[in-house]
C-alpha cells in the first residue's frame, strides 16, 4: 500500500511536471520569436502581445514554485525515485529560467525595433515628400508665355521655401540615425543606408530646384523680349502699311486728312525711337548674359533692325509725294466746289413747277432771293481760279496739266451757261404751304393705321405655350406703337380744324380727312382689344394642356411598372422590388401638388367662361381618373410585396437558426468534461461556447417575434409559420439543457483555482499601474505634454479594462462565498486587500490627471504666446520695407496692403487680450509656474508695442508718398495738356485767304478759352505743392523744383499763345489788304479800257458827249 501511495505521488508529480513543461514549451515559442515587426503598428501590436506573455509568465510562476516544492518534499522523504524526481525538477527549473531570459531579451529587442520603425516611418514620409517635390522641380514646363512663366516662378519660390524648411526634418532624422548607431542598434546598417539615401535625395532635390529656378528666370526674360519685339514688329507692320500707301487722296479734304494723319504718324515714329532702342538694348543684354536662346534672339534682332531702316525710307518717300498732291488736289477741290456752285445756281433757276410740298416752295423762294446777289462774287471766283490753273499747268505738265485744263474749261462753260439762263422767277413762287403740310401728315397716318390694322388682325393659331406667349408679346408691342401715335393724330386733327375755322379754300377736303382720322383711330383701338382678349385665353389654354400632358406622362410610366406581377423569391429580390416601389410612391407623392394646381387652374378657366371650357373639363376628368387608378394599384402592389418579403425573410432566418443549433447541439452533448485533465482549457472552451449560445438567444427571440407578428397579422402562410416556430423552439430547448449540464460539471471543479489566479493577475496589474500613476513628469513642451496625456488617456482606458478584471474577481468571490465555499475566510481576505489597493491606485491616477491638465494649459499658453510673437515678428518684417511706391497706383496698392495688415493687427490685439486673461487665470490656478507665464506675457506686450509703433510710422510715410505721387500725376497730366495745346497752336500753316484767316483767329481765340479753363488746374496744383512743402513733406525739394518748372511752362504757354495771336492778326490784315488790292486792280483794268479809247468825236455833239462821260469818269 505504501509503495502504491509513493507511486501515486510520483505519477502525480510526473504529470504536473509534464504539464508545466508543456506550458513552458508553448510560451517559449512566443518568447523566442524572431518576428520584431515590419512596421510601427506591427511592432506596437507585438509589444502588446509580448506584455500579455510576460503577465502570464508572472502569474504562472506560483504554479512552478508549487511543483518545485512538491519535488523537494518528495526528495526530503527519500522517495524511491529520487533521481528521476531530481532530474525532472532540474529540467523544469532550467526550462523556466530559459523562458524568462528569452522573454527579457525579446522585450529589449522589441523596444529597439520600435525606435527603428519610428525612424523608418518618418524616413518614408520624408522620402515620399521629397519624391513629390522632385517631380515638381523636374518639370520641364517653363511657361508657354510670360504670364505662365511668372506664375511658375512664383510657384517655384514657394517650393524653394518648402524645401528649405524641410532641411531641418532631414537633419533631425540624421541625428536620430547617429543616436541609434551610437547605441549599436541591431539594424544599424539599414538605418545608416536609409539616412544616406535621404541625404542624397535631398541634395538631388536642391540641385533640381536651383536648375529649375535658373530656367524659369531665363524663360521670363526671353518671353519679355519676344513679347516686346513682337509687339514692336506688329506695330511696325501697321506703320509700314501706312508709309507704303499709294493713297494720295480722292480729293483735297481727303488729302488733308491723310496729311494730318501722316504728320501724326511721323510724330509717332519719332516718339517710338526710344522704344526701338529699349527692345534692342534688351536683346543685347540677353546675348551678353549668355542666354540659352542667343541664336533666336540675334535673328529677331536683325529682322527688327532691317524693318526699322526700311520704314524710315518709306516715310521720306511718302512725305515728298504728299506735298505735290496737296497743290493739285487743292485746285481740283476749288474747281469742283466752284463748278458745283455754278451748277447749283443754274439748277436753282426757276422751272415751270412750283413744288409739290411746302418744303420745296420755301427752298425755291429763298434760293431766288439770294441768287442775283451771289452772281457777282461768283464771277470773281471764276477769274481767280483761271489764273491759278495757268500757274499749275506750267508747274505740273503732262496728265495733271490736262486734267487741270479740262476742269477749268468745264467751270468756264458752266459759268457762261448760268449767265445765259438767269431770268426772273419771283412771281411764280406762291404756293399752298399749309395745305401741303396737312395733307402729307394725314396720308402718312392713314397709311400707318392701315398697316397696323392688318398686323393686329392677323390670325396665327398658337400650337404651344411658347408660341402663345410670343403672339401676346408681339400684340403688346403693337399697342405701344398705337399709343405712341396718339399725340401725332391729335396734333394733325387740331391743325385741320384750325384751317377750317380760318375758311381755307379746301375746307371740305380737310374736314373729310379729319373725320377719316377719327374713325380709323377708333376702329384700330377696338380691333386691338378684341385680339388681346383672345390671345390671353389661348395662352391659358396652352398652359393647361401642357400641365395635363406632364401628369399623363407620369401616369403612363407608373402603369407600365404596375403591369408586372413579380413579387420575388429571395430576400434580396424582395428588397429590390420594395425599394423600386417606394421610389415610385415618392415620385407620385411629389406630383400631387402639380396635379392639384392643374385641376384648380382648369376649374378657374371654366368658371371664367373660357372659349375651350368643354375641352378643359373633359381633359381634366380623364387625367384625374387615370391618376386615381394608378394610386389604387400602387397600394395593392405594396401590400403584396411586403407580405412576400416578410415570409421569405422569416424562412431564411429559421433555416439558418436550425442549422446553427444542430451544429452546437453536437458540441453540447460531448461528455469529455468527465475527464479531469486540462480543466482550464475545457472550461474556457465551454465558456466561449456558452457565451456564443447566450449571444445568439436574441436571434431566436427575434425570429419568434417575427413569426408571431406574421401570425397575428393573418399572413396567408400562417400554418407553415407556426410549424417552423414549434420545431425551432424544441431544438433550442434541447441545446440549452445539454449546455447547462456540461457547464455545471466543469465550473464546480475549476472555480477555486480560477479565482486564485485572477487575484494574482489583478494584484500584478495594480502594481504596474501604480508605478505609472505615481510619475511626476509633465513634458518638455506642448507636444510632449500631449503625448503624455495621450499615454495617460490610454492608461485610463487600460484601468477601465483592469476594473472589469477586479469586478470579475469580486463577483467570483461573492458567488463562491454565497455557495458556502470551504475557503470563505481566505477568499474574503483576498477580496478586501485587492479592493484597498485598487482605491489607492485610483487616487494616484486622479492626481496624475490633474497634474497633466494643468501642465497642458501652461504649455498651450506658452505655445500660443510663441505663435503670437512669430506673427508679430512677421508683420514687423513686412513693416521694415523701405518701398513707398513708384507711382500713384503702386502707392495705393501699398496702402491697401497696409490697411489689410492693420486689420490683421486687430486680430492679434484680440489674441493678446485673450492671452492676458488666460495668463491671469493660470497664475491664480498654478502659482508654481508664475515666473514662466509672466515672462512670456511681458515678451509679447513689448513686441506688440514695437509693432504698433512701426505700423503708425509706415502708415504716415505711405500717406505722404500718396500725396506726392498724386501731385506728380496731376502735374504730368497738366504738362501733357500744355504740350499738346502748344503743338496745336504752332503746328498750323498761315491762312491763304480772308475766310481762312478769320477762321484761324476764331480757332485761336477758342484755344485761349481752353487755356483759361485750365487756369484753375494750374492754381490748384500750385496750391497743393505749396501745402505739401509747408507741411514738411520729405520730398519738399523735389516739389519746389516741380513748381518752378510748372510756372515756367505756364508762362511759356501764355507767351506762345500771345505770339501766335499777333501772327494771326497780321495774317488776317495781310489777306484783307491783298483782297482789296486785287479788287482795285480789277477795277483799274476795266477803266484802262475806257481811257485807251482813241475816239475823240466826229462832231460837236459827239465831243460834248465824250466830255461828259470823261467828267463822270473823273468823279
Strand runs labelled E in 343-427:
none
Q: Which helix (H) or strand (E) holds 659?
A: helix 613-668
Average pLDDT, the chain: 76
pLDDT of 589 higher than 70: no
Cell of 439: 395733307
- C-alpha distances out from residue 212 to 149, 156, 198, Å: 11, 8, 21
Q: Residue 162 in contact with residue 133, Cβ under 8 Å?
A: yes
pLDDT tens digits for range 970-1022: 878 878 888 888 887 777 777 777 777 787 887 778 777 878 877 888 888 88
From CA 700, how far away is CA 728, in angstroms rounded?
8
Give the C-alpha distances (Å, rounded to integers) separating 507 from 458, 494, 497, 803, 883: 36, 14, 9, 123, 88
Print the SS3 string covering 29-88: HHHCCCCCCCCHHHHHHHHHHHHHHHHHHHHHHHHHHHHHHHHHHHHHCCCCCHHHHHHH
Give the pLDDT confidence score for residue 746 in this predicted structure: 63
CA nearest 475: which of 490, 492, 455? 455
pTM of the model: 0.30
Q: Does residue 1060 surpass a pLDDT of 80?
A: yes
pLDDT at 354 > cutoff 60: no
| Distances from the Cα of 978 to the Cα of 8, 987, 1047, 1052, 1056, angstroms | 132, 14, 12, 10, 11
Q: In the chain, what is the straight-line distance between the N-terminal and C-terminal CA atoms, in Å?
A: 197
Can you give the pLDDT at residue 865? 81
Judged against a pLDDT cut of 60, whether residue 428 lies above it is answered with no
pLDDT(665) > 60: yes
d(C-alpha 929, C-alpha 925), whole Å: 9
- 792-847: pLDDT as tens digits: 788 788 878 878 887 887 887 888 777 776 567 777 887 888 888 888 888 887 88
For residue 605, which of 532, 550, 542, 549 has the smallest C-alpha distance?
Answer: 542
Residue 404's alpha-carbon distances to 380, 399, 407, 465, in angstroms, are 19, 9, 5, 72
Pairs from 384-393 (Cβ < 8 Å, separation ≥ 24): 385/331, 385/334, 385/335, 385/338, 385/411, 386/412, 388/331, 388/334, 389/331, 389/335, 392/327, 392/328, 392/331
Q: For the chain, what is the largest distance between any 2 Cα atoms, rounded to a whole number of angstroms?
A: 215
Helix axes 613-668, 697-712, angle to 10 degrees: 140
Q: Is the dihedral of CA 126, 131, 136, 138 positive or negative?
A: positive
Structure confidence by residue, pLDDT tens digits, 178-200 = 888 887 777 778 888 888 888 88
Contacts of 163 (CB under 8 A, 6+ apart): 133, 205, 206, 209
The pLDDT, as a whole number, for residue 580 is 66
Taking the C-alpha atoms of residue 22 and residue 24, their distance in angstroms, rounded to an integer, is 5
- 711 closest CA partner among 726, 698, 690: 726
**What are 952-956's contacts with CB under 8 Å, separation 24+?**
953/879, 954/879, 954/898, 955/898, 955/902
Residue-wise pLDDT tens digits, 914-969: 878 888 887 787 777 778 777 878 888 888 888 788 888 878 887 877 777 787 78
Residue at grid coordinates 400631387: 592
Q: Which residue has the higher pLDDT, 287 or 368?
A: 287
- In the 3-class helix/strand/coil scheme, how is 1020-1046 assigned residue by residue? HHHHHHHHHHHCCCCCHHHHHHHHHHH
Q: What pLDDT, in 10s, does the model give residues 1106-1115?
A: 677 677 767 6
How far is Cα 964 from Cα 647, in angstroms, rounded to an integer? 91
- d(CA 734, CA 449) in angstroms, rounded, equals 106
d(C-alpha 833, C-alpha 766), whole Å: 12
Q: For residue 705, give the nearest of 659, 646, 656 by alpha carbon.
A: 646
* 918 vs 925: CA distance, rounded Å: 11
Q: Is 37 left (phi over 0), alpha (psi -120 to 50) or beta?
A: left
- CB 215, CB 293: distance < 8 Å: no
Nearest Cα residue to 135 out of 198, 195, 201: 201
- CA atoms of 937 and 862, how far apart (whole Å): 9
Query: 69-102 pLDDT, tens per residue?
Result: 888 888 888 777 888 888 888 888 888 888 888 8
| Set of cell numbers at residue 535 | 390671345
* 422 has a pLDDT exceeding 70: no
In this predicted structure, which of 270-279, 533-542, 904-913 has the lowest mean pLDDT? 533-542
Q: What percentage of the chain reaches a pLDDT higher than 70? A: 80
CA neighbor of 332 nearest in space, from 437, 403, 265: 403
- Alpha-carbon distances of 442 from 361, 509, 833, rounded to whole Å: 20, 11, 125
> pLDDT tier at 431 (50, 70, 90 boundaries)?
very low
How many angstroms separate the CA atoms of 982 and 978, rounded?
Answer: 6
In degrees and rounded to multiples of 5, residue 753 shows phi and psi of -60, -40
Q: How confident is the model at residue 1105 (pLDDT cuts 50, 70, 90)?
A: low
Q: How deeply is 385 buried, as exposed, middle or buried, from its count of CB atoms within 10 A (0-12, 13-18, 19+)?
A: buried
Grid cell in block for residue 757: 489566479
How many beta carbons lie within 10 A of that of residue 351, not counting itself? 11
The set of residues, in sequence order, having a beta carbon less than 8 Å from that of 853 and lying 6+ positions away, is: 789
**For residues 885 and 961, what is the distance between their CA atoms, to the nearest angstrom?**
7
Question: Is 540:600 a contact under the CB 8 Å cutoff?
Answer: no
**What's the pLDDT at 170?**
81
- Confidence (pLDDT) at 705: 79
- Its sign, for the CA torsion 321, 324, 329, 330, is positive
Are 984 and 1007 in contact by the 8 Å Cβ rule? The answer is: yes
| pLDDT score at 958 | 76
H or E element: which one contains 141?
none
CB 962 within 8 A of CB 892: yes
pLDDT tens column, 855-894: 777 778 788 888 888 878 887 777 777 777 777 777 777 7
CB hemisphere CA count around 81 (13 angstroms): 18
Rounded CA separation 67/688 (Å)? 29
C-alpha dihedral over 993, 998, 999, 1001, to 10 degrees? 120
* Per-residue cell: 292: 540659352
> What pLDDT score does 372 carry?
66
Grid cell digits, residue 841 = 491606485
Q: Are 346 and 421 within 8 A, CB to CB? A: yes
pLDDT at 542: 65
Q: CA nearest 786: which of 731, 860, 868, 700?
A: 860
* Inter-residue contact 219 to 149 (CB < 8 Å): yes
Considering 454-463, 601-610, 917-926, the range whose residues carry the highest mean pLDDT is: 917-926
Per DSSP, helices labelled H in 502-570 are 507-562
Amino acid at each position: 500500500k505504501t509503495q502504491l501511495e509513493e507511486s501515486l505521488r510520483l505519477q502525480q508529480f510526473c504529470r504536473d511536471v509534464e504539464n508545466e513543461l508543456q506550458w513552458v514549451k508553448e510560451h517559449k515559442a512566443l518568447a523566442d520569436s524572431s518576428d520584431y515587426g515590419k512596421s510601427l503598428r506591427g511592432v506596437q501590436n507585438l509589444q502588446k502581445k509580448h506584455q500579455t506573455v510576460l503577465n502570464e509568465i508572472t502569474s504562472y510562476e506560483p504554479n512552478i514554485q508549487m511543483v518545485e516544492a512538491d519535488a523537494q518534499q518528495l526528495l526530503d522523504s527519500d522517495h524511491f525515485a529520487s533521481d528521476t524526481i531530481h532530474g525532472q525538477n532540474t529540467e523544469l527549473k532550467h526550462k523556466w529560467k530559459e523562458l524568462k531570459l528569452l522573454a527579457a531579451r525579446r522585450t529589449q529587442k522589441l523596444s529597439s525595433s520600435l525606435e527603428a520603425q519610428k525612424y523608418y516611418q518618418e524616413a518614408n514620409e520624408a522620402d515620399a515628400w521629397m519624391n513629390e517635390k522632385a517631380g515638381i522641380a523636374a518639370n520641364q514646363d517653363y511657361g508657354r508665355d510670360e504670364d505662365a512663366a511668372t506664375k511658375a516662378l512664383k510657384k517655384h519660390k514657394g517650393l524653394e521655401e518648402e524645401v528649405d524648411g524641410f532641411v531641418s526634418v532631414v537633419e533631425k532624422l540624421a541625428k536620430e540615425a547617429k543616436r541609434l548607431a551610437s547605441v549599436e542598434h541591431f539594424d544599424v546598417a539599414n538605418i545608416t543606408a536609409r539616412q544616406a539615401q535621404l541625404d542624397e535625395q535631398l541634395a538631388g532635390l536642391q540641385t533640381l530646384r536651383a536648375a529649375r529656378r535658373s530656367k524659369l528666370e531665363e524663360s521670363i526674360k526671353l518671353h519679355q523680349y519676344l513679347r516686346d519685339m513682337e509687339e514692336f514688329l506688329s506695330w511696325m507692320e501697321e506703320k509700314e502699311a501706312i508709309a507704303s500707301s499709294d493713297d494720295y487722296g480722292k480729293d483735297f479734304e481727303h488729302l488733308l486728312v491723310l496729311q494730318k494723319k501722316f504728320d501724326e504718324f511721323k510724330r509717332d515714329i519719332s516718339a517710338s525711337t526710344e522704344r526701338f532702342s529699349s527692345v534692342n538694348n534688351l536683346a543685347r543684354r540677353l546675348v551678353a548674359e549668355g542666354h540659352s536662346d542667343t541664336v533666336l534672339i540675334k535673328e529677331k534682332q536683325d529682322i527688327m533692325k532691317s524693318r526699322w531702316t526700311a520704314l524710315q525710307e518709306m516715310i521720306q518717300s511718302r512725305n515728298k509725294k504728299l506735298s505735290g498732291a496737296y497743290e493739285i488736289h487743292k485746285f481740283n477741290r476749288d474747281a469742283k466746289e466752284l463748278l458745283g456752285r455754278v451748277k447749283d445756281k443754274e439748277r436753282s433757276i426757276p422751272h415751270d413747277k412750283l413744288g409739290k410740298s411746302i418744303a420745296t416752295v420755301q427752298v425755291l423762294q429763298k434760293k431766288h432771293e439770294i441768287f442775283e446777289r451771289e452772281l457777282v462774287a461768283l464771277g470773281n471766283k471764276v477769274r481767280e481760279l483761271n489764273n491759278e490753273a495757268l500757274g499749275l499747268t506750267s508747274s505740273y505738265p503732262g496728265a495733271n496739266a490736262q486734267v487741270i485744263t479740262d476742269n477749268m474749261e468745264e467751270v468756264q462753260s458752266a459759268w457762261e451757261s448760268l449767265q445765259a439762263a438767269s431770268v426772273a422767277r419771283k412771281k411764280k413762287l406762291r404756293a399752298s404751304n399749309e395745305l401741303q403740310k396737312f395733307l402729307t401728315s394725314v396720308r402718312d397716318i392713314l397709311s400707318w393705321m392701315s398697316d397696323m390694322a392688318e398686323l393686329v388682325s392677323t390670325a396665327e393659331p398658337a400650337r404651344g405655350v411658347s408660341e402663345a406667349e410670343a403672339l401676346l408679346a408681339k400684340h403688346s408691342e403693337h399697342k405701344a406703337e398705337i399709343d405712341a401715335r396718339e399725340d401725332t393724330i391729335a396734333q394733325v386733327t387740331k391743325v385741320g380744324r384750325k384751317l377750317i375755322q380760318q375758311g381755307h379754300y379746301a375746307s371740305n377736303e380737310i374736314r373729310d380727312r379729319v373725320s377719316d382720322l377719327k374713325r380709323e383711330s377708333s376702329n384700330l383701338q377696338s380691333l386691338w382689344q378684341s385680339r388681346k382678349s383672345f390671345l390671353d385665353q389661348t395662352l391659358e389654354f396652352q398652359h393647361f394642356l401642357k400641365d395635363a400632358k406632364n401628369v399623363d406622362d407620369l401616369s403612363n410610366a407608373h402603369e407600365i411598372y404596375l403591369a408586372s406581377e413579380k413579387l420575388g423569391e429571395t430576400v434580396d429580390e424582395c428588397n429590390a422590388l420594395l425599394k423600386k416601389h417606394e421610389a415610385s410612391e415618392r415620385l407620385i407623392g411629389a406630383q400631387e401638388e402639380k396635379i392639384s394646381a392643374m385641376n384648380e387652374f382648369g376649374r378657374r378657366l371654366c368658371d371664367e367662361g373660357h372659349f375651350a371650357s368643354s375641352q378643359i373639363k373633359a381633359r381634366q376628368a380623364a387625367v384625374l381618373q387615370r391618376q386615381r387608378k394608378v394610386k389604387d394599384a400602387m397600394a395593392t402592389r405594396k401590400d403584396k410585396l411586403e407580405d412576400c418579403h416578410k415570409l421569405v425573410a422569416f424562412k431564411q432566418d429559421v433555416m439558418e437558426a436550425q442549422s446553427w443549433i444542430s451544429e452546437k447541439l453536437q458540441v453540447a452533448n460531448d461528455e469529455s468534461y468527465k475527464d479531469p485533465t486540462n480543466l482550464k482549457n475545457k472550461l474556457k472552451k465551454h465558456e466561449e461556447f456558452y457565451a456564443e449560445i447566450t449571444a445568439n438567444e436574441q436571434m431566436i427571440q427575434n425570429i419568434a417575434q417575427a413569426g408571431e407578428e406574421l401570425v397575428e397579422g393573418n399572413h396567408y402562410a400562417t400554418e407553415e409559420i407556426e410549424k417552423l416556430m414549434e420545431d425551432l423552439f424544441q431544438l433550442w430547448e434541447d441545446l440549452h439543457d445539454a449546455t447547462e449540464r456540461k457547464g455545471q460539471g466543469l465550473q464546480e471543479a475549476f472555480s477555486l483555482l480560477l479565482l486564485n489566479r485572477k487575484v494574482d493577475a489583478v494584484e500584478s496589474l495594480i502594481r504596474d499601474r501604480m508605478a505609472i500613476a505615481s510619475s511626476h513628469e509633465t513634458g518638455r513642451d506642448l507636444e510632449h505634454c500631449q503625448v503624455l496625456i495621450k499615454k495617460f488617456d490610454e492608461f485610463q482606458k487600460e484601468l477601465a479594462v483592469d476594473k472589469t478584471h477586479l469586478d470579475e474577481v469580486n463577483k467570483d468571490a461573492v458567488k463562491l462565498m454565497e455557495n458556502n465555499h470551504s475557503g470563505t475566510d481566505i477568499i474574503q481576505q483576498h477580496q478586501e486587500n485587492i479592493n484597498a489597493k485598487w482605491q489607492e491606485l485610483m487616487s494616484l491616477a486622479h492626481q496624475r490627471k490633474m497634474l497633466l491638465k494643468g501642465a497642458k494649459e501652461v504649455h498651450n499658453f506658452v505655445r500660443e504666446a510663441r505663435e503670437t510673437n512669430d506673427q508679430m515678428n512677421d508683420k514687423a518684417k513686412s513693416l521694415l520695407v523701405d518701398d513707398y511706391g513708384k507711382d500713384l497706383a503702386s502707392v495705393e496698392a501699398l496702402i491697401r496692403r497696409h490697411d489689410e495688415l492693420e486689420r490683421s493687427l486687430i486680430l492679434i490685439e484680440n489674441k493678446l487680450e485673450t492671452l492676458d486673461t488666460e495668463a491671469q487665470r493660470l497664475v491664480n490656478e498654478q502659482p508654481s509656474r508664475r515666473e514662466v507665464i509672466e515672462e512670456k506675457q511681458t515678451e509679447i506686450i513689448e513686441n506688440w508695442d514695437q509693432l504698433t509703433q512701426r505700423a503708425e510710422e509706415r502708415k504716415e510715410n505711405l500717406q505722404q508718398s500718396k500725396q506726392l505721387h498724386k501731385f506728380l500725376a496731376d502735374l504730368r497730366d497738366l504738362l501733357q495738356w500744355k504740350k499738346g495745346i502748344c503743338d496745336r497752336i504752332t503746328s498750323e500753316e498761315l491762312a491763304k485767304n480772308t475766310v481762312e484767316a478769320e477762321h484761324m483767329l476764331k480757332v485761336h481765340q477758342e484755344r485761349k478759352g481752353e487755356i483759361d479753363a485750365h487756369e484753375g488746374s494750374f492754381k490748384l496744383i500750385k496750391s497743393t505743392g505749396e501745402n505739401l512743402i509747408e507741411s514738411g513733406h520729405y520730398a519738399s525739394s523735389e516739389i519746389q523744383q516741380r513748381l518752378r518748372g510748372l510756372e515756367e511752362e505756364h508762362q511759356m504757354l501764355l507767351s506762345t499763345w500771345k505770339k501766335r495771336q499777333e501772327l494771326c492778326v497780321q495774317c488776317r490784315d495781310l489777306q484783307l489788304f491783298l483782297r482789296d488790292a486785287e479788287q482795285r486792280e480789277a477795277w483799274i483794268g476795266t477803266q484802262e479800257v475806257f481811257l485807251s479809247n482813241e475816239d475823240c468825236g466826229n462832231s460837236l455833239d459827239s465831243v460834248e458827249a465824250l466830255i461828259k462821260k470823261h467828267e463822270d469818269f473823273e468823279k
